[in-house]
């Protein structure tokens, strides 16, 4: 019997060709993976006092957070490029496995050293989940829809900022702190199964010259300096030989990094970027913002639980004004920038408000009321939110197209390193001042059996069991030690305020929009290519540009007198070959009369012929549609400003042509406009 020829493997679906069910299952699994990684950046904060009480080592509390941040930051560039080279699905599955293994080990940790090590492993996987989940969106959906779906991923970061502290406190109160990590296992397993069975994306095999040495060196620089700032003066005396030795090693790695990056084919952070004034200033401001934001987020739950005696869950509730203020001001500033095109006032105001917020936080004590604390938390959150988005936006507006992707990742990388430093430095200040204050407060005071400065340092929960007179002294030491770190941070934020005045407010390119929450809320650096960033911006603009006034401009530019709806219908026929007006009206829930009027105009001008219920473009109609498509392409190109010069990269022309073809006449581009929507926004200024 002759051997039957083997069937060729089915090709992976192309973007836009996924069945809706498979698409949403795949997106759901990606969102689950992203949710877990983002959640673990915030869920631990409210559980930390309980964790260090059980495992010991309040002086190492900061490292439970810092280890995760350092690992996820250092691994992010590698995950992105390895995914391009070997396939994002495979790498995403590996990231899930690493993350879940780290989570399981964290839940089994028996001492603070083990927990810190396992958090580092968990952070390596978490960094991969974040960068790959957002990159895979580009493999699943066409460019014109990317902005809409990436908005979902941005919403996840906003949600985890709110839910993280609440869930962390809830698990501590109702189950056990170890469930902060165990909860990842069932959710991650579901994501892993769905990804394995449903997600089918092509392995494009895009070759990269991966800058392994540069990645290793910059991670070493950050690690050396974070270790010095966190262990110096606590575990190691400042006079110890280890402090200058490790600091010297960090500086040596920094010098080596700068030398390597000058010769690297695809550098992690090109030194030439620092010649761009706006990039250097924004990176410095982003560093300070990350420094203060995550330092405050890490130590406020300890203040609330130890000094005010609230439960872990309620400490998460108390933090809501800060988180909601951050999200509110970040969203509002983005909308105002989109409408006005002016952005410099927001970081200037934001850093000033954040400085005031830090001063207010330093005034808190054991007698501060809930309403007063909520107001102070809100002020700080509002200030930070005004800064986050604008740093990314200003950098994208200042650099050449070729550097768009790496500049975006550079400024978010600075914020990530700042977050790691902030938690570590705040931890050092807190530990040093707490030990000193406890020693002074308890000197000459008779202590109950088993109570000492050392036990109070290692078990914050033991404070509540002290006699009332003694408890007041200890709570005062804890309160003053925590609030002092906020006072130390205020001058640093004031320096950032001074730097914001030095920013030059260039006119915004039409394609530069306030970034989504995925680029501003998490501490992880964003990893997207210049092409990805451009597609993200133009896809959002293109959808808005499909409204009535944009179609009028397209018609005028093409030299035709057609209704906006007629232009849309003709472009749709060019895209699909034919159109059924009434069916379109029914499916898109748009006025049938408008569609009939557009179809009648096309027939009357002999641009389309009736074929039963369908309309088919005539030869003249196809020629007019081609002119409209070219006009649409010119409109998109105009949004790029000086990027669209004579020496523009070929891929930029390809992006504009691709988006123009997809946006012209797509379902998302009905020119009727949303109710109450006017002809404002970047598209109209482009």
Q: Give the model's pLDDT for residue 354.
A: 93
> With 80 as the cut, is the pLDDT of residue 91 above it?
yes
Q: Which H or E run includes 609?
A: strand 608-611
Give the max Cα distance, the chain.
101
The reply to whether 532-640+650-663 shares the fold of 18-210 is: no
Residue (of 382, 324, 328) closest to 352 by Cα position: 382
- Specify whether the CB–CB gap between 437 and 483 falls below 8 A: no
> With 80 as the cut, is the pLDDT of residue 191 above it?
yes
Show Cβ contacts of residue 515 under 8 Å, excluding neighbours closer than 6 positions: 334, 389, 392, 393, 396
Q: Give the model's pLDDT for residue 239.
A: 72
Q: Give the model's pLDDT for residue 81.
A: 75
Distance between CA atoms of residues 125 and 99, nearest Å: 4
Distance between CA atoms of residues 601 and 675, nearest Å: 24
In this structure, is the dihedral angle defined by the CA atoms of residues 275, 279, 281 and 287, taken in order, positive or negative?
negative
Q: Which H or E run includes 597?
A: helix 592-604
In eight-state DSSP terms, residue 589 is T
Q: Give the model's pLDDT for residue 147.
A: 61
Q: Give the model's pLDDT for residue 97.
A: 92
Give residue for tokens 């030299």. 559
Range of lowest pLDDT (380-384, 533-537, 597-601): 533-537
* Beta strands 608-611; 614-617: pairing state: antiparallel
Is pLDDT larger for residue 204 or for residue 256?
256
Region of residue 673 (left: phi > 0; alpha: psi -120 to 50; beta: else): left
What's the burial of 443, exposed, middle or buried (CB within 10 Å: 0-12/13-18/19+)?
Answer: exposed
Angle of the 61-86 helix axis to the 277-302 helix axis, nearest 10 = 130
Q: Give the model's pLDDT for residue 241.
A: 78
- Specify whether the CB–CB gap between 468 and 261 falls below 8 A: no
Q: Give the model's pLDDT for residue 380.
A: 92
> With 60 as the cut, is the pLDDT of residue 677 above it?
no
In eight-state DSSP terms, residue 642 is G
What does the pLDDT average to over 212-225?
Answer: 81
Show Cβ contacts of residue 565 under 8 Å, excluding neighbours closer than 6 positions: 551, 594, 595, 597, 598, 670, 671, 672
- Specify whether the CB–CB gap between 526 and 409 falls below 8 A: yes
> With 80 as the cut, is the pLDDT of residue 356 above it?
yes
> With 70 as the cut, is the pLDDT of residue 543 above it?
no
Distance between CA atoms of residues 316 and 165, nearest Å: 5
The architecture in CATH of the region 273-507 reads Up-down Bundle (1.20)
What's the burial of 187, exposed, middle or buried (CB within 10 Å: 0-12/13-18/19+)?
Answer: middle
| pLDDT band, residue 673 (cuts 50/70/90) | very low
What's the burial of 161, exposed, middle or buried (CB within 10 Å: 0-12/13-18/19+)?
Answer: buried
> With 60 as the cut, is the pLDDT of residue 205 above it?
no
- Specify whether the CB–CB gap between 71 and 87 falls below 8 A: no
On average, the pLDDT of the chain sits at 78
> With 80 as the cut, is the pLDDT of residue 269 above it?
no
Q: Give the model's pLDDT for residue 375.
A: 93
- Specify whether the CB–CB gap between 598 and 566 falls below 8 A: yes
What are the pLDDT digits (tens) for 92-106? 889 999 999 999 999
Q: Give the model's pLDDT for residue 2.
A: 43
Domain ranges of the chain: 18-210, 273-507, 532-640+650-663
| pLDDT band, residue 5 (cuts 50/70/90) | very low
Q: What is the rounded end-to-end Cα distance, in angstroms, of the chain? A: 68
**Both structure tokens of 346:** 């927001």
CB count, 10 Å around CB of 581? 24
What are the pLDDT digits (tens) for 387-404? 887 888 888 888 887 778
What are the pLDDT digits (tens) for 625-656? 888 888 877 777 777 777 777 777 777 777 77
H runs (alpha helix) in 40-142: 48-55, 61-86, 88-108, 112-140
Q: How many helices (H) and strands (E) are present in the chain, helices listed first?
A: 27, 2
What are the pLDDT digits (tens) for 128-186? 888 888 778 777 776 666 666 666 777 777 777 778 788 888 888 888 889 888 988 98
Show Cβ contacts of residue 313 under 8 Å, excluding neighbours closer than 6 positions: 46, 166, 169, 170, 172, 173
What are the pLDDT digits (tens) for 46-88? 888 888 777 776 667 777 888 888 888 877 777 777 777 777 7
- Mapped onto helix, strand or coil, the DSSP state of residue 403 is helix
Residue (of 103, 102, 110, 106) closest to 55 by Cα position: 110
Q: How far is CA 472 from CA 311, 463, 468, 583, in A?
A: 19, 9, 6, 74
Q: Give the model's pLDDT for residue 228.
A: 78
H runs (alpha helix) in 399-467: 404-442, 453-458
**Both structure tokens of 524:** 């992880």
- Mapped onto helix, strand or coil, the DSSP state of residue 507 is coil
- Specify whether the CB–CB gap between 570 and 608 falls below 8 A: yes
Distance between CA atoms of residues 530 and 514, nearest Å: 16
> With 50 as the cut, is the pLDDT of residue 573 above it?
yes
> With 80 as the cut, is the pLDDT of residue 667 above it?
no
Show Cβ contacts of residue 254 under 8 Å, excluding neighbours closer than 6 positions: 217, 221
Range of lowest pLDDT (13-17, 28-32, 470-474, 537-541): 13-17
Q: Measured at the alpha carbon of residue 537, what is the angle toward residues 534 and 542, in degrees to the nearest 5?
A: 110
Main-chain dihedrals φ then ψ at residue 368, nearest 5 degrees: -65, 135
Residue (of 344, 303, 362) closest to 45 by Cα position: 303
Q: Give the model's pLDDT for residue 64.
A: 82
Q: Measured at the alpha carbon of residue 522, what is the angle toward residues 521 and 523, in degrees to the nearest 5?
A: 120
Main-chain dihedrals φ then ψ at residue 433, nearest 5 degrees: -70, -35
What are the pLDDT digits (tens) for 613-626? 888 888 888 888 88
Query: What CATH class is the domain 532-640+650-663?
Result: mainly alpha
- Specify whether the CB–CB gap between 426 and 537 falls below 8 A: no
| pLDDT band, residue 477 (cuts 50/70/90) | confident
Distance between CA atoms of residues 581 and 573, nearest Å: 10
- Domain spanning 18-210: CATH superfamily: MFS general substrate transporter like domains (1.20.1250.20)
Distance between CA atoms of residues 487 and 430, nearest Å: 12
What does the pLDDT average to over 458-479?
Answer: 75
Q: 236-264 as b/e, with b when 16 or more CB fall inside 10 Å?
A: beeeeeebeebbebbeebbebbeebbeeb
What are the pLDDT digits (tens) for 502-523? 988 877 776 666 666 555 665 6
Distance between CA atoms of residues 224 and 515, nearest Å: 32
What does the pLDDT average to over 338-354?
Answer: 88
Give residue for tokens 């966190």. 230
């Amino acid at each position: 019997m002759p051997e039957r020829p083997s069937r060729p493997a089915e090709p992976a679906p192309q973007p836009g060709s996924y069945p809706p069910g498979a698409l949403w299952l795949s997106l759901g699994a990606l969102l689950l993976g992203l949710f877990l990684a983002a959640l673990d950046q915030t869920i631990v904060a409210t559980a930390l006092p309980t964790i260090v009480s059980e495992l010991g080592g309040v002086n190492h509390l900061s490292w439970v957070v810092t280890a995760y941040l350092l690992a996820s930051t250092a691994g992010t560039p590698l995950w992105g490029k390895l995914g391009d080279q070997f396939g994002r699905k495979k790498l995403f599955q590996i990231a899930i496995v690493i993350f879940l293994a780290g989570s399981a080990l964290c839940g089994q940790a028996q001492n603070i050293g083990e927990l810190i090590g396992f958090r580092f492993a968990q952070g390596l996987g978490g960094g991969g989940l974040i960068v790959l989940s957002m990159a895979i969106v580009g493999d699943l959906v066409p460019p014109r829809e990317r902005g809409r779906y990436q908005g979902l991923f941005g919403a996840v970061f906003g949600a985890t900022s709110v839910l993280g502290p609440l869930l962390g406190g809830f698990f501590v109160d109702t189950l056990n702190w170890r469930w902060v990590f165990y909860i990842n296992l069932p959710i991650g397993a579901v994501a892993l199964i769905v990804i394995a069975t449903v997600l089918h994306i092509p392995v494009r095999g895009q070759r990269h010259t991966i800058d392994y040495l540069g990645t290793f060196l910059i991670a070493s620089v950050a690690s050396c300096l974070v270790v010095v700032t966190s262990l110096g003066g606590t575990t190691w005396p400042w006079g110890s030989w280890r402090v200058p030795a490790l600091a010297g090693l960090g500086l040596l790695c920094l010098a080596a990094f700068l030398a390597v990056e000058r010769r690297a084919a695809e550098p992690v952070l090109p030194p030439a970027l620092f010649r761009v004034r706006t990039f250097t200033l924004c990176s410095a401001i982003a560093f300070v913002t990350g420094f203060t934001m995550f330092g405050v987020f890490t130590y406020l739950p300890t203040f609330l639980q130890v000094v005010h005696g609230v439960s872990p869950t309620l400490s998460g509730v108390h933090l809501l004004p800060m988180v909601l203020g951050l999200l509110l001001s970040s969203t509002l500033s983005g909308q105002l920038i989109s409408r006005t095109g002016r952005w410099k006032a927001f970081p200037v105001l934001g850093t000033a408000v954040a400085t005031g917020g830090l001063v207010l936080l330093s005034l808190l004590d054991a007698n501060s009321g809930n309403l007063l604390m909520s107001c102070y938390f809100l002020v700080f959150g509002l200030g930070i939110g005004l800064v986050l988005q604008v740093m990314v936006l200003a950098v994208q507006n200042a650099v050449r197209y070729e550097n768009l992707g790496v500049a975006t990742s550079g400024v978010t990388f600075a914020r990530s390193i700042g977050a790691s430093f902030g938690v570590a430095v705040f931890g050092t200040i807190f530990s040093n001042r707490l030990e000193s204050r406890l020693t002074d407060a308890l000197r000459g005071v008779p202590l109950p059996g088993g109570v000492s400065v050392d036990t109070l340092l290692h078990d914050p929960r033991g404070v509540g069991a002290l006699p009332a007179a003694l408890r007041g002294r200890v709570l005062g030491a804890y309160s003053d030690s925590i609030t002092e770190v906020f006072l130390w941070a205020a001058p640093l934020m004031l320096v950032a305020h001074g730097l914001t005045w030095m920013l030059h407010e260039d006119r915004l390119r039409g394609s530069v929009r306030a970034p989504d929450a995925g680029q501003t809320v998490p501490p992880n650096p964003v990893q997207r290519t210049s092409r990805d960033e451009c597609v993200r911006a133009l896809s959002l603009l293109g959808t808005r540009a499909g409204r009535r006034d944009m179609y009028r401009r397209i018609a005028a530019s093409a030299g035709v007198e057609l209704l906006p709806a007629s232009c849309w219908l003709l472009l749709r026929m060019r895209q699909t070959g034919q159109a059924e007006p009434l069916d379109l009206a029914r499916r898109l829930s748009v006025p049938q009369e408008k569609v009939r009027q557009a179809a009648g105009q096309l027939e009357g001008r002999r641009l389309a012929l009736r074929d039963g219920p369908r309309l088919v473009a005539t030869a003249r109609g196809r020629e007019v549609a081609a002119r409209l498509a070219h006009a649409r392409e010119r409109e998109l190109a105009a949004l790029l400003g000086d990027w669209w010069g004579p020496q523009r990269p070929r891929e930029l022309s390809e992006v504009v042509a691709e988006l123009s073809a997809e946006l012209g006449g797509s379902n998302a581009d009905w020119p009727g406009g949303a109710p109450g929507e006017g002809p404002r926004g970047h598209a109209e200024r482009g």
